[in-house]
Amino acid sequence: MERPFAITLDVGSSRANHTGSWRVERPVYVDRLPPCNDACPAGENIQRWLYHAESGDYENAWHTLVEENPLPAIMGRVCFHPCETACNRAQVDEAVGINAVERFLGDTALAHGWSLPAPGPATGRKVLVVGAGPAGLSAAYHLRRRGHAVRLVDSAPRLGGMLRYGIPAYRLPRDVLDAEIARIVNMGVEVGLNETVTDIAAAREAAGADAVFLAVGAQLGKRVSIPAGDSAKVIDAVSFLHQVADDDPPLLGRRVVVYGGGDTALDAARTAKRLGATDAVIVYRRNREKMPAHAEEVEQALGEGVTVRWLSTIERFEGERLVIEKMALNAEGFPEATGEFEELDADALVLALGQDTDLSLLAGSEVAVADGVVQVVDSMMTDVPGIFAGGDAAPSNRTATVAVGHGKRAARGIDAYLAGRVDERPARHALAEAGRLNTWYYADAPRTERPELERIRRQTNFEEVIGGLTEDNALFEARRCLSCGNCFECDNCFGVCPDNAVMKLGPGERYAFNYDFCKGCGICVAECPCGAIEMVPERI
Amino acid sequence: MTEPTATRVHFYQVGSFAVGNRLLSADDRTVQSNPARTNSIDSGHRACQGCGEALGARYALDAAMRATNDRLVAVNATGCLEVFSTPYPETSWRIPWLHSLFGNAPAVATGVAAAMRVKGRDDVRVVGQAGDGGTVDIGFGTLSGMFERNDDVLFICYDNEGYMNTGVQRSAATPPAARTATTDVVGPEPGNVFGQGKDLPRIAMAHDIPYVATATVADLHDLERKVERAMEVRGARYLHVLVPCPLGWGSASSDTVRLARLATESGLFPVFEAEDGVVTGARRIRRRVGVEEYLRPQRRFAHLFNGAGRPDVVARLQAMADANIERYGLAPDEEE
Amino acid sequence: MLQQIEGSRAIAETVARCRPEVVCAYPISPQTHIIEAIGAMVKDGRLTPCEFINVESEFAAMSVSIGASAAGARAYTATASQGLLFMIEAVYNAAGLGLPIVMTLANRAIGAPINIWNDHSDAMAVRDAGWIQLFAETNQESADLHVQAFRLAEELSVPVMVCMDGFILTHAVEGVDLMDQELVDRFLPPYEPRQVLDPDDPVSIGAMVGPEAFEEVRYLAHLRQLDALELIPTVAAEFAALTGRASGGLVHPYRLEDAETVVIAMGSVLGTIKDAVDARRDPGERVGVLGITSFRPFPIAAVAEALRGARRVVVIEKSFSLGMGGVLATDVAMSAPWLGQRLVTVVAGLGGRPITRRGIEDVIERARRDDLAPLTFLDLDEGVIARERARMSASRRSGPFAENVLRDLGSATEARR
Amino acid sequence: MFQVRFHGRGGQGVVTAAELLAVAAFDEGRFAQAFPSFGSERTGAPVVSYCRLDDREIRSREPINEPDAVLVQDVTLIHQVDLFGGLAPDGFVLINTSRTVEELGLADLAERCDPSHLATCPATELALEHVGRAVPNAPLLGGFAALTGQVPLEALAVALRERFPGIVGDRNVAAATAAYHHVRAEQEAIRAAAD
């Protein structure tokens, strides 16, 4: 149609006017490090696997997860989830139940028989892994993925290390443990059980290994000197739990006292309870706030009838009677003796006062040891080239998750060492702080708690205490993720731009700015829920 | 009040609030999340950085386009929206669009609707649109006429609370205490005075027209749903959309959506809908804030906070917000 | 079919046969009867399809017409006087947008003082708006002009105003040969807009045009008016061929062949003038009449041609520009500059004051004697003027002069009693 | 007659700058005329304003197409707008920047300009320092005074205090003064280098 001049205009002609010239700042998309990822000792890309779980694509989620951690069903049970402590959602309502979703994914994978990634092409290099706990298993997995041959040896008759011998079955069912270990072994790991390495250099040579990873754990229970009569039954918690795990529990009697305040103390008390103790009493020298054990473990133990004598130390164990001294916290929060004493009936005393590492295998080597643990650099290599160490045997706060992370780091370090490269870790993104989020956009959604086993049943058997999430609950929980610092394609930038200067690139492809038209108003930055856009000064 | 508050789409991370959501089915997503949306007002327009009106117009018209299967004609009053979208030789409109005068958009829209009806093209629907000046002041007579005749027009007011096109003068939609070029912050009652102004949504309701609603650029799902609802109905309909103006309000260009949100969360701008003259739903406040949080980022209210400030004036504004909350039942669930 | 019918009714019937699709109504005397009749026809189904819309003001009436026309409908409305002024912004806008709206203007004076009777002040107030303005001499011509108006408007994309004298024509009952529907349909094809609001072919109508193109836009609008100068006679000729009636065209010359004195006027007064001219012709006076039908566009060439032999020209007009003088006369002077001082303006019939044959004959006689001032006010009561001016100079608060004049006339009446 | 063109963005006080210069010249007893270029552009869009200065009555109302000086308030305009179009061969250029002309990619300009007619001035930084807001117009005018000598700094100070009463005016004057000295020092350095 012939248009009247000037008064009538053809549609869309304003695209000739490039309003990008108005801009003094430009928005750019960024990826920031979510606090969960930042806090995860195993280096999991939690935000990323939750992203897949959010859409119900559990298989993809699980594959993303096991890129970093091959033991999700285990970690979904035993990890103390520092990710949740760091989670920004805690500042909105409650942290996302990451651990529960991890377990859901791990269990779902086992149920469906999803496979770990295939081993990498063979490199012809071989690595000896000493110790088949979480660090050793993790290292074996990551080394196999890089194509290195792995020989995994352990002094115990079964694989799993402290996962098996330190964590009671009611927290980690053995079928789960066995299944996840088997998956790793099936990647072509050569296993040597009941093999105690006594000389690291000799073992390396014997195995024909190009490198060694030491992950021997901390298996020795610390003992303290408590005056005790001959008749008194005293055992350390590590041995106690190990024997239980070997189906050979010691007879402790009806009244069991556990001495200590860590998670192992709780495990010991709860295990004693399950073995028939009527009284399972924990004696701890400080108060509940100062207790190093994780709060939820304490809560569960108390719920099962375990009792705690706070602010108490054991003076002596006479016959069937413990003498306890009351303590008081001084201004600095340290316990001080009060001179007040009490008595407590007990058939047995379990000492849960920490563990030491048996490093006798390093005798004669150049490997540096300090404070009872092996000294390593960032790549987990010791002073001796080719010898790496991790897990409880290296400086750490001794959790299974840290061990898994060590195994991964060591595998990467070993890989670099074998290739003659310097192990360089990619630069970390800036942290996605809560202040960068626009939390308005997230749906109101309080956390889904996992169902807990009936209390009465917990007192008598080793059934798993904490249940898993149903699929609905897991999906809900995954969707509580704020995706801090990482675009999750909510379309906000695409929608809120008054100049239509954001291009939507399609599922999974995110967005791009059309700088021909972007005037630099910054609404997209302000309204991005997860803080994945920032303004930068315009180039001149 | 039938309209639930806050989270309407449960279980979908950002389902109720963000523009889109890869987790929602296509039907539940907003029009704006669709890459094939009309972009009724296209790139290259000359609105200020962060213009709420440009945003609101695209939101509303794109939704109307979807609701009508792209059978839409828009009639525009004179004002910012018209000037920044159609300076010869460029137009930003991708839909049939007509601008006549400042005060006659409702009547022109009536004419277009009449033409469509007489030509048997009832499928083509008509939207009239204007700023607050073109709606509550100079266009009020023609708007009221269109309402009372119940002409088949959806009229949308993009309310930025003043005559921004001409340099920020007061309109009958300017809130009390706000500084404009004609309500300077001088004298004993600085800024716009209390006790004046028109509440057009309620006036519209008094015409007993089938549909009246308010919305803001901060709640896209709500706005789009209202446009869709409006398009399901024949007869005169009115949608009043709050669109913050960085220039006139003296706010950061990036704060446009946030201020619209604070306007509703403070209770100063009630978001509700009414059918046949009766309020049928109101959007409850989700995270209630005091009016100060809304007022402070705006330089037009700076005189309330400079030096000793004017806590008395802030209190009067808070009382207005409280009255809205009471009248429309806007209090969050837990406050009931 | 020829029938004795009220002017307004004749217009309503004719407009209805032009098949308007949207008709807007807002009451104002003296056009109200037209709109009432059309409304009734729409309501009882005689005129269909048509949307009849009772609007809240003349401003809305023109605005609705703008919307309807832009959306491709044939739009019609009618107004007068204050109503035209109230819609004036939209009147300009309709022309600027090139929308072929047809409007009847039942000419009426403009207040204050408020006055409902006939003169041409309203039409003159919008002469620059870009509308074609056609003046009807009779109700027959008025009816015929409406049919032609739709043709012209739609062919040119220019709105057309048919001006007919309020009350004098609108309320006069006289014989009008109403075109039947078939005849109108043969003359007036369906409206095919040059631009239209259509979802299948979206355009933006009504852009803001800056200094870089505004003059060109205006010039193009002027060219359309010049095009109308060509088209108006063509359409009138076609109409004449169809109906046998010489309605419309640019000008109506009457007994001009050897006229030394030419009287120029617009509208219904032409009939009275013709009678006067005939009366003067009988004794052999060489006097003729030039009726102006198309005031906008103004037919400069046709007027110049008609006045070629004239020795003197008298423009009788029902309006004037305060502080200046004749409006029509100015345009005539532009058309025939050689007339110089031989062109005089006679302002007559303001606010409905009757113009009589005797009065016109008197004017012609004074013209012949070169006794007319360049700007003459017919039948002006000099006594009233003198007394009011005296009052004004005597006292600062002399009061409202319209009321004073009324009082003065009243007392004069009493004094005569 | 001396004609000045100001380039900036909507909302940066481009029109105010031209007005302030006109007032300052008027206070000096000169004739001046400031006027904006009015379009449909909004906040953020490139805009221009103009100022004419003369010792006799200014009657011309035509647009300034061949300015004697160009003031650039916002360097992000450099590659967006024809900033120096029509500039007289010996015209003046003052750019609000803390960089050098070469760093801005304006080597061409530097080549064709008399070095003593080309100056930069960190007006935004000076405004932030002295006024507390990123309003570069007052310091840019101070720089203009130093570069062209068309108005004395004192007259600018009067105009600024008139426009911004109280402490805001004082702060603007301080910013303009700092800019004046900055440009003066830059010019002296150029002269010293040339000698």
Chain D positions touching B84 (Cβ under 8 A) are: 40, 42
Q: Which chains touch A (3 or more CB pairs under 8 A)?
A: B, C, D
Is residue B109 less than 8 Å (CB to CB) from chain C? yes
Question: What pLDDT was estimated at residue B7?
Answer: 56
B5: contact with A, CB 8 A cutoff: no
Task: Give the model confidence (pLDDT) of C111-144 as tens digits.
Answer: 999 999 999 999 999 999 999 999 999 999 999 9
User: Residue A1 pLDDT more than 50?
Assistant: no
**Best mutation target, C198, C203, C208, to test chain A (most A CBs within 10 A):** C203
Comparing CB atoms, the residue among B75, B94, B117 nearest residue C51 is B117
Residues in B closer than 8 angstroms to D74, CB to CB, are none
Q: Which residue has the tokens 């202040």?
A: A435
Which carries the bigger pLDDT value, residue B5 or residue A133?
A133
Give CA separation, B33 vs A29, A483, B26, B266, C351, in Å. Answer: 18, 19, 9, 28, 64
**Has residue A452 got a pLDDT over 70?**
no
- Counted domains in chain C: 3
How far is D147 from D187, CA to CA, in rounded Å?
8
Distance from CA of D114 to the nearest CA of C (A): 35
* pLDDT tens figures, C255-290: 999 999 999 999 999 999 999 999 999 889 999 999
pLDDT digits (tens, 9 = 90+) for C320-344: 999 999 999 999 999 999 999 999 9
Distance from CA of A493 to the nearest CA of B (A): 8
Which three-class secondary structure state does DSSP give residue C286?
coil
Q: What is the DSSP string of D19-31?
A: HHHHHHHHHTT-E
The better pLDDT of the pair A234, B136 is held by: B136
Q: Is A71 helix (H, G, I), strand (E, B) or coil?
A: coil
Among B84, B247, B253, beta carbon nearest to D40: B84
Position B336 scores a pLDDT of 40
pLDDT at residue C201 greater than cutoff 90 = yes
CATH number of the domain within which C146 lies: 3.40.50.970
- Contact, C280 vs C317, CB < 8 A? no
Select from B12, B39, B80, B254 the residue whose CB has the most chain A CBs within 10 Å, as the one to mutate to test that interface.
B254
Q: Give the domain extent around B300.
A: 26-335
The stretch C201-212 carries a mean pLDDT of 94
| Mean pLDDT (chain D, rounded) | 91
CA distances in angstroms from A429 to A432, A486, A509, C397, D15, listed in the order given: 9, 11, 20, 86, 44
Any chains having at least 3 CB pairs less than 8 A from chain D are: A, B, C
Signed CA dihedral, B111, B114, B118, B119: sign only: positive
Residue D179 has a pLDDT of 97
Provide the number of CB pairs (under 8 Å) joining chain A to chain C: 43
pLDDT of the residue at B1? 38
Q: What are phi and psi of B140, to 5 degrees?
A: -60, -40
Tell me which residue in D80, D99, D105 faces A21 most closely, judged by beta carbons: D80
Give one word for C325, left, alpha or beta, with left for phi > 0 and alpha for psi -120 to 50. left
Q: What is the DSSP letter of B35?
A: T
Neighbours of chain C (3+ CB pairs under 8 A): A, B, D
* CA separation for the pair C308, B305 (Å, rounded): 80
Residue A236 has a pLDDT of 92
Are C207 and A9 within 8 A, CB to CB? yes
| pLDDT of B335 strictly over 50 | no
CB atoms closer than 10 angstroms to residue A143: 32
CATH architecture of the domain covering A246-351: 3-Layer(bba) Sandwich (3.50)
A-proximal residues of C, 199-228, CB under 8 Å: 201-207, 209, 213-214, 216-217, 220
A384 pLDDT exceeds 50? yes
C26, C203, C205: which to substitute to probe chain B, counting the most B Cβ within 10 Å? C205
Tell me if C203 and A1 make a contact (CB, 8 A cut-off).
Answer: yes
Q: What is the pLDDT of residues C392-407, one digit of tens each?
A: 888 887 777 777 777 7
- Give A262's DSSP letter: S
3-state secondary structure at position A258:
strand
For residue D45, the domain's CATH number is: 3.40.920.10
Domain finish residue from C208, C243, C278: C243
CATH of A13-31+487-537, one of 3.40.350.10, 3.30.70.20, 3.40.1550.10, 3.40.50.150: 3.30.70.20
Nearest to A360 by CA among A129, A130, A140, A192: A130
Q: Is C96 on the interface with A (CB under 8 A)?
A: yes
pLDDT in tens, D160-189: 999 999 999 999 999 999 999 999 999 999
Q: Containing domain of residue D113, as a range?
A: 2-194
Residues ≥6 apart with Cβ < 8 Å to A140: A129, A132, A150, A152, A184, A187, A189, A407
Minimal Cα–Cα distance from D105 to chain A, Å? 8
pLDDT for the residue C413: 54
The total number of structural domains that make up chain B? 1
CA of B86 vs chain D CAs: smallest distance (Å)? 9
Contact residues, C window 190-209, toward D, CB-based 8 Å cutoff: 208
Tell me if chain C has a CB within 8 Å of the CB of A8: yes
**C–D interface: beta-carbon pairs under 8 A:** 3
> Exposed, middle or buried: residue A237 (CB in 10 Å: 0-12, 13-18, 19+)?
buried
The predicted structure's pLDDT at residue B3:
46
* D-chain residue closest to B80, CA distance: D40
Determine, yes or no, domain membership for B5. Answer: no
Residues 88-107 of B with CB under 8 A from A: 88-95
Sign of the Cα torsion A193, A197, A202, A208 reads positive
Q: Are A373 and A351 in contact (CB under 8 A)?
A: no
Is some CB atom of chain C closer than 8 A to the CB atom of A9? yes
H and E: helices and strands count for chain B: 11, 8
Contacts of B19 in chain A (CB under 8 A): 490-492, 494-496
What gap in Å lies between CA C156 and CA C153, rounded to an integer? 5
Whether residue C417 has pLDDT greater than 50: no
Ramachandran assignment for B276, one of left (phi > 0), alpha (psi -120 to 50 degrees), beta (any other)? left
Other beta carbons less than 10 A from residue D81's beta carbon: 17
Q: Are residues C134 and C264 in the same domain?
A: no
D26: phi then psi, degrees, rounded to nearest 5:
-60, -45
Residue of C nearest to D38 (CA): C210
Taking an 8 Å cut-off on Cβ atoms, the answer to whether B145 and C60 are in contact is: yes
B84 in contact with chain D, both atoms CB, cutoff 8 A:
yes
- Strand pairing partners for A126? A149
CATH, domain A44-114+441-476, list 3.40.50.410, 1.10.287.3510, 1.10.1060.10, 2.60.40.2480: 1.10.1060.10
Alpha-carbon distance B136 to B75, whole Å? 16
Number of other CB atoms surrounding residue A8 within 10 Å = 23
Would you say residue B130 lies in a domain? yes
Query: At A333, which amino acid appears?
Result: G
> Which residue shows structure tokens 């000492």?
A351
Residues in chain D: 195
User: What is the CATH code of the structural domain delimited by A126-219+357-419?
Assistant: 3.50.50.60
User: What was the pLDDT predicted at A458?
Assistant: 61
In a mutational test of the B interface, the residue from D15, D43, D74, D76 whose CB has the highest number of chain B CBs within 10 Å is D43
Q: At what angle do helices C7-17 and C139-156 cross, to 10 degrees?
A: 30
| B261: chain A residues, CB-CB within 8 Å | 440
The pTM of this model reads: 0.91
Q: How far is CA A347 from CA A277, C414, D135, in A?
A: 10, 137, 82
Residues of C with CB under 8 A from a CB of B: 21-22, 24, 49-51, 53-57, 59-60, 63-73, 75, 89-90, 93, 97, 197-199, 201-210, 212-213
**The pLDDT value given to residue A457:** 56
CATH number, residue B30: 3.40.50.970
Expressed as residue numbers, the domain containing C398 is 382-416
Contacts of A16 in chain B (CB under 8 A): 44, 90
Query: D85-134 pLDDT, tens per residue?
Result: 999 989 999 999 988 888 888 888 888 888 899 999 999 999 989 998 88
How would residue A224 be classed by pLDDT, with cut points 50, 70 and 90?
Answer: confident
With beta carbons less than 8 A apart as the criterion, state whether B16 and A440 touch.
no
State the smallest CA–CA distance between residue A27 and chain B in angstroms.
11
Q: What is the pLDDT of residues B154-198, one digit of tens each?
A: 999 999 999 999 999 999 999 999 999 999 999 989 999 999 999
Binary contact (D43, B48; C-beta < 8 A): yes
A14 touches chain C (CB under 8 A): no
User: What is the tally of structural domains in chain D?
Assistant: 1
Residues D105, A540: C-beta atoms closer than 8 Å? yes
Q: Is D65 on the interface with C (CB under 8 A)?
A: no
* D42 contact B CB<8A: yes
Residues C46 and C112 grouped into a single domain: yes
pLDDT digits (tens, 9 = 90+) for C90-104: 999 999 999 999 999
pLDDT digits (tens, 9 = 90+) for A188-208: 999 999 999 999 999 999 999
Q: Is residue B19 part of a domain?
A: no
Residue A451's pLDDT band (boundaries 50, 70, 90)?
low
Predicted pLDDT at B5 = 42
State how beta strands C203-205 and B97-99 pair. parallel
Best C195, C200, C204, C215 residue to mutate vs chain A (most A CBs within 10 Å): C204
CA–CA separation, D64 vs D71, rounded Å? Answer: 14
B80 contact residues in D (CB cutoff 8 A): 42
- Which pLDDT does position B4 carry in this prediction? 41
Residue C112 touches chain D, beta carbons under 8 Å: no
Query: What is the CATH classification number for the domain harbouring C305?
Result: 3.40.50.920
Q: Is D78 on the interface with A (CB under 8 A)?
A: yes
Please list every residue in chain C whose beta carbon sits closer than 8 Å to the beta carbon of residue D62.
none
- Gap from A493 CA to chain C (nearest CA, Å): 28
